Amino acid sequence: PYTTLFRSSLSEVCLSVTSTRRTLQVFGYQVALQGAGNENAVINAISNAAASAPYDRLRGAYAYATAAGALLLTSRLSSAMVEWTRADKRWLISLDWGHSEPEALELLASLPYSEVRIPNATQVLASNLVPRLCFHPKTLLLDQAARRDRPPAVLALGSANMTASGLRFGYEHVAVATWGRGATSSSARLELAAMQAEALRLETVWRRSRKVDRKLIADYKGLRDRVRARPRRAQESPED
C-alpha cells in the first residue's frame, strides 16, 4: 500500500471564478507524493506555485540544507519567479546535529537580497551541535511586500528538507496552497488569515536567530568536522 501511495501523481483541488474571457484560479491546493516512479514531484510542485504570480518576498525555514539541495531549490525558484533577483529572501536553517552543510549556508547568503539566520545558534554551537530543542520545519512562504496581508501568496510545507534527495528522489510529500488575486471564498480567506498568523511565528524566530557571517561559518565548519570525526554513541543518534 505504501508503494502505491508514493507512486501517486500530483493531486489538486481548485476553487475558481469564471469570467467571459477565461477562468481565473484564485485558490489552489496541491499534494505531491514523491518516490520511485514519481521523481521530482516536490521540486516541481514548489516551482509551479512560485510561477503563479510575481512574488517578491520569500521566507524559507528548513531543518537541514545541503549545497546540492540549496542549488537545486534556488535554481528552480530563480527560473520560476520573475522577480527573483530583487526579491527579499530570508532563510532559517538549523545547525542541529551538523546535518546542514556550511557550503549551503554560504550559497544561500550569497544570493541577491538574501539573508540566512540560525535558530538557537549559540546554544547549539556550545553543545557540540546537539540542540536543546530541535528546529525541524520544511516550509516556504511566498508573497508580495506591498500586499503581504492579501493575495497572491503561496504556502508550501511537507517532509522534504533542502536536499537533493528530499526535493527530487526520496519518499517525501509536499502540500502547496496558492492564493491568487481575485474574489476568494470565505473559507479561502480564513485559510489565508490563518497562514499569515502562523507566519508571524517565523518572524519571531527570525528576530531571535543569529545572522550567518564568515565567523559563524568558520566556527561551524571546525566544530562540525570535529564532531563528525568522533564515533557516535547510540544515545547520541540524532532526530532527523
More confident residue, 22 or 96: 96
Structure letter (DSSP) for residue 96: G
Determine what percent of the chain is predicted with pLDDT higher than 90: 70
Q: What is the pLDDT of residue 239?
A: 55
Q: Which residues pair with 16 in a beta bridge?
A: 25
Residue 11 has pLDDT above 90, yes or no: no
pLDDT, tens digit, 9 for 90 and up, residues 166-225: 999 999 999 999 998 776 778 888 888 888 888 888 999 999 999 999 999 999 999 999
Question: CA 116 to CA 14: how far, in whole Å?
Answer: 34
Beta strands in the chain (DSSP E): 11-18, 23-34, 57-62, 88-93, 114-118, 138-143, 153-158, 172-179, 210-211
Q: Which has the minimum average pLDDT: 3-17, 60-74, 103-117, 223-237?
A: 3-17
More confident residue, 102 or 235: 102
Residue 7 has pLDDT above 80, yes or no: no
Q: What is the pLDDT of residue 236?
A: 57
| Sequence-separated (6 or more) residues with CB below 8 Å from residue 90 | 58, 59, 60, 114, 115, 117, 206
Task: Share the mean pLDDT of the chain.
Answer: 87
Residue 15 has pLDDT above 70, yes or no: no
More confident residue, 174 or 20: 174
| Sequence-separated (6 or more) residues with CB below 8 Å from residue 170 | 34, 35, 160, 163
Residue 71 has pLDDT above 60, yes or no: yes
**What does the block give as the cell for 186?**
470565505
